[in-house]
């Protein structure tokens, strides 16, 4: 696609350095993202306790577990709807409003979860209330993730979009680590009886309170310069933003959905499923597997930033190609290496965790794929629908494939990395349609 006049003008102007305001915006956005993702993920660390407290005691264990995970999964099902609605108003009324609203909508249900009556007190009202609050959480995170990527990318200089998106994604993954550490602390400080009686409430109440703190901090952020310029020039999309995105930018939607598949393969298989798989496949103790997972999640947060910087230096397409190739090799080394030498679990897991950091490049590609007028809606639809689809199918596919080979998780991630490499090749041959700057009149 030909370069627009506004892009040519910005290219001829001297590049703006990263300012103190940009750094503050990145810091506040990443902090809010970490706290919001903590609120969304903390539920999974207490599914057993929640199942015992919110469903009838005479329920069979397998059914109680199924019901509890069903409530957890409901949050993922609500993500597309919440993301699409919030993106609509983000493209129409402003990025900042939705960016602040999303963390508020996450904080309220998280706090209320910690204050809910249990089945013993409220009967079937308890699980229904839990389900409703979980749906609200899903709607909130559906708007938060794409909204945060758009917000930070439109604030920083164009040559720092990779760093901005990588830093924000790093904050989201840090929320997973924070949830794991808090859950470990609760189970260490309290006895199992105390956790069941009242200790389980602590992480939800703390998450809700810190979420309100994040809302307060985000009030100090400014609307993105890109949106303000579009508003002043009356360049906002006149039709339904999602309709415009789907009608005029189908290739961008396809690329974004395929890259979301790469993202879910890395996060769901390598970070979320692997601790359990290590216990099942190689008889590694739970405590050791979880400790190694914490190390991998930490290296993932570093990897997101590093790959984001690489995207700024080499371009998103080359960074994506190098990152997916590194993930392809490292995931095979990890699963094969642990099978033959379990004592190398931690260093191998740290390496593959760092390579999963290629997910930090994904939002940079998405931001450049859509023009500003429909960027929020285009990214939100592509990311949330693909995440709901692939995030739901990935555990099922990997579990079924394990019947054929213990290396099935590695083979699955490898196959998806090949898809990522194909997308990188396509991007290298096809210049992006959007870019962070607004289109000309």
Task: Check residue 441 and give its pLDDT.
Answer: 29
Task: Give 235: exposed, middle or buried? Use CB within 10 Å, 0-12, 13-18, 19+.
Answer: middle
Question: Could you say which DSSP state residue 199 is in?
Answer: I
Contact yes or no for 334/348 (Cβ under 8 A): yes
Give me the residues of the chain with pLDDT under 50, please: 1-13, 438-441
Tell me the domain boundaries of the chain: 21-236, 238-436
Residue 112: its H or E element: helix 95-115
Q: What angle do CA 256, 253, 39 make, to 5 degrees?
A: 50
Second CATH level (architecture) for the domain 238-436: Up-down Bundle (1.20)
Alpha-carbon gap, residue 37 to 30, rounded angstroms: 10
Q: Which CATH superfamily is domain 21-236 in?
A: MFS general substrate transporter like domains (1.20.1250.20)
Residue 365: its H or E element: helix 362-369
Contact yes or no for 107/211 (Cβ under 8 A): yes
Q: What angle do CA 58, 205, 98 make, to 5 degrees?
A: 110
Residue 397: its H or E element: helix 375-401
Q: What is the pLDDT of residues 297-327, one digit of tens each?
A: 999 999 999 999 999 999 999 999 999 999 9
- How many angstroms separate the Cα of 340 from the Cα of each of 175, 271, 334, 336? 32, 21, 10, 6
Task: Check residue 251 and give its pLDDT.
Answer: 92
Task: Check residue 14 and give its pLDDT.
Answer: 54
Q: What is the pLDDT of residues 369-418, one digit of tens each?
A: 998 888 989 999 999 999 888 887 888 888 888 888 899 999 999 999 99
Answer yes or no: pTM beyond 0.85.
no
**Residue owning tokens 């999640």:** 297
Question: Could you say which DSSP state residue 437 is in?
Answer: S
Task: Check residue 433 and give its pLDDT.
Answer: 54
Question: Which ranges of 233-315 does DSSP label H, i.e. alpha helix?
Answer: 241-248, 250-264, 274-282, 286-314
Same fold, 21-236 and 238-436: yes
Alpha-carbon gap, residue 278 to 21, rounded angstroms: 44
């Amino acid at each position: 696609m030909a370069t627009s006049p506004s892009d040519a003008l910005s290219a001829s102007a001297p590049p703006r350095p990263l300012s103190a305001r940009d750094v503050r915006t990145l810091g506040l956005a990443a902090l809010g993202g970490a706290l919001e993702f903590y609120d969304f993920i903390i539920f999974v660390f207490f599914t057993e306790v929640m199942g015992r407290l919110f469903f009838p005691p005479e329920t069979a264990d397998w059914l109680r577990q199924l019901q509890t995970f069903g409530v957890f999964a409901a949050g993922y099902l609500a993500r597309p709807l919440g993301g699409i609605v919030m993106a609509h108003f983000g493209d129409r009324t402003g990025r900042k409003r939705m960016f602040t609203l999303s963390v508020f909508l996450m904080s309220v249900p998280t706090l209320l979860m910690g204050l809910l009556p249990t089945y013993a007190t409220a009967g079937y009202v308890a699980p229904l209330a839990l389900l409703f609050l979980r749906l609200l959480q899903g709607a909130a995170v559906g708007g938060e993730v794409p909204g945060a990527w758009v917000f930070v990318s439109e604030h920083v200089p164009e040559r720092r979009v990779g760093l901005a998106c990588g830093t924000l994604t790093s904050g989201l993954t840090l929320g997973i680590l924070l949830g794991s550490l808090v859950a470990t602390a609760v189970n260490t400080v309290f006895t199992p009886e105390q956790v069941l009686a009242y200790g389980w409430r602590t992480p939800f109440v703390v998450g809700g309170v810190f979420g309100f703190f994040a809302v307060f901090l985000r009030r100090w952020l400014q609307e993105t310069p890109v949106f303000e310029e579009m508003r002043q020039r009356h360049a906002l999309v006149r039709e339904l933003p999602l309709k415009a995105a789907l009608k005029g930018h189908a290739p961008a939607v396809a690329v974004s959905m395929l890259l979301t598949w790469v993202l879910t393969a890395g996060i769901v298989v390598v970070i979320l499923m692997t601790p359990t798989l290590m216990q099942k496949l190689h008889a590694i103790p739970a405590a050791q597997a979880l400790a190694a997972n914490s190390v991998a999640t930490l290296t993932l947060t570093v990897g997101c930033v590093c790959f984001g910087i690489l995207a700024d230096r080499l371009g998103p397409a080359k960074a994506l190609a190098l990152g997916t190739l590194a993930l392809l090799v490292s995931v095979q080394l990890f699963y094969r290496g642990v099978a033959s030498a379990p004592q190398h679990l931690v260093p191998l897991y740290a390496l593959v965790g760092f390579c999963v950091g290629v997910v930090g490049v994904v939002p940079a590609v998405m931001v450049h794929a859509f023009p500003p007028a429909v960027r929020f809606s285009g990214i939100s639809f592509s990311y949330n629908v693909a995440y709901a689809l692939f995030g739901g199918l990935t555990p099922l596919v990997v579990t079924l494939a394990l019947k054929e080979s213990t290396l099935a998780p590695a083979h699955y991630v490898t196959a998806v990395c090949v898809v990522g490499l194909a997308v990188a090749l396509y991007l290298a041959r096809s210049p992006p349609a959007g870019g962070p700057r607004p289109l000309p009149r």
